[in-house]
Amino acid sequence: MTRLRCAILDDYQRVALTMADWPSLDSAVEVTPLHDRLATEEDAVAALERCGIVVAMRERTAFPASLLARLPRLRLLVTTGMRNAAIDVRAAAARGITVCGTASRSEPPAELTWALILALARHLVPEHLAFRAGGPWQSTVGSDLQGRRLGLLGLGKIGQRVARVGLAFEMDVVAWSQNLTREGAAAAGVRLAASKAELLETSDIVSIHLVLSSRTRGLLRRQDLMRMRQTAYLINTSRGPIVDEGALIEALEAGWIAGAGLDVFDQEPVPLDSPLRSLPNVLGTPHLGYVSHANYQGYYRQALEDIHAYLAGAPIRVIDR
């Protein structure tokens, strides 16, 4: 019996094989983790053309119709979460490729959001670097959170978790999204902002918690960033393209806002010559929001469950649209 080949994409930390019982696939499947990003479609074809199963990490590798057509052996594509805008699900179905997802059981981006907020507000990175280098003992004055306004763009599962922490810090928490109602905001213990403009103009911290879609792509443009307070911070742990990156760089360079905490970007990894890598008022992390032990363990275990179910002829967690 010829073994199916399974590639696990983007295992940057080289931990995928430790997170689930892959040997349980026994002799049916040969599992190979790939540690480097597949930057182009040609890279993907070269790496995956002999694979019958691919386990994809988030939306990092796109699977448009053009790539799927060049992977004739692919029969099962597993992705984290139950939606992935980078996969052409319709094209996959047309080629007989089953797409399955995983059900999220933790929301680590909410925790990273607060790491970024607190680090910016209390200038932890420059103070830590000064501490290590024997620099000045106290050179900054931190910003208080108590009594300040936290504006949330999006109040889904992650946004609600962020809101609860803001309320615990005794912040004034407001939220806005295109579908959010007054009742929905009140159920989360926060107030519905009258408009996106009001949220931007009155918040001391603006944090984004929206799914990237045609409606949210470019939601914050130049004119929106100009509405924000000069003392405000922008936090984005959702998706880079929700914010116009060129306008954000302009806002940070010109001092329209105090700074930004960014975990997501238009292009990942961020080009080495990007101003976002050198601006002093940017706290950047390499898309770590979902990178936690519990999240990885849940993702890889469920991916393995998806593979077992598919091999048994009864696929689970199928994504069909």
Residue 249 lies in a domain: yes
5, 209, 239, 317: the active-site residue: 239
Claim to verify: residue 64 and residue 191 sit in the same structural domain: no
The pLDDT mean for the chain works out to: 96
The pLDDT value given to residue 157? 94
Residue 320 included in any domain: no
**Is 287 an active-site residue?**
yes
The DSSP symbol for 19 reads S
Edge-to-edge order in the sheet of strand 29-33: 29-33, 4-8, 53-56, 76-79, 98-100
Verify that 119 and 154 share a domain, yes or no: yes
Domain encompassing residue 218: 108-284
Report the alpha-carbon distance of residue 282 to residue 20 in Å, rounded.
36
Catalytic residue among 268, 301, 305, 308: 268
Q: Is 308 a catalytic residue?
A: no
- Whether 171 and 130 share a structural domain: yes
Per-residue pLDDT of the chain (321 residues; tens, 9 = 90+): 578 999 999 999 999 999 999 999 988 899 999 999 999 999 999 999 999 999 999 888 999 999 999 999 999 999 998 989 899 999 999 999 999 999 866 789 999 999 999 999 999 999 999 999 999 999 999 999 999 999 999 999 999 999 999 999 999 999 999 999 999 999 999 999 999 999 999 999 999 999 999 999 999 999 999 999 999 999 999 999 999 999 999 999 999 999 999 999 999 999 999 999 999 999 999 999 999 999 999 999 999 999 999 999 999 999 998
Would you say residue 78 lies in a domain?
yes
* Claim to verify: residue 161 and residue 247 sit in the same structural domain: yes
Same domain (yes/no): 275, 301:
no
Q: What's the pLDDT tens digit per position in 232-262? A: 999 999 999 999 999 999 999 999 999 999 9
* Known catalytic membership, residue 41: no
Domain identity same for 184 and 71: no
Q: Is residue 190 part of a domain?
A: yes
166: domain CATH number? 3.40.50.720
If asked whether residues 118 and 198 sit together in one domain, one would say: yes
Determine if residue 296 is left, alpha or beta; phi over 0 gives left, psi from -120 to 50 gives alpha, anything else beta. Answer: alpha
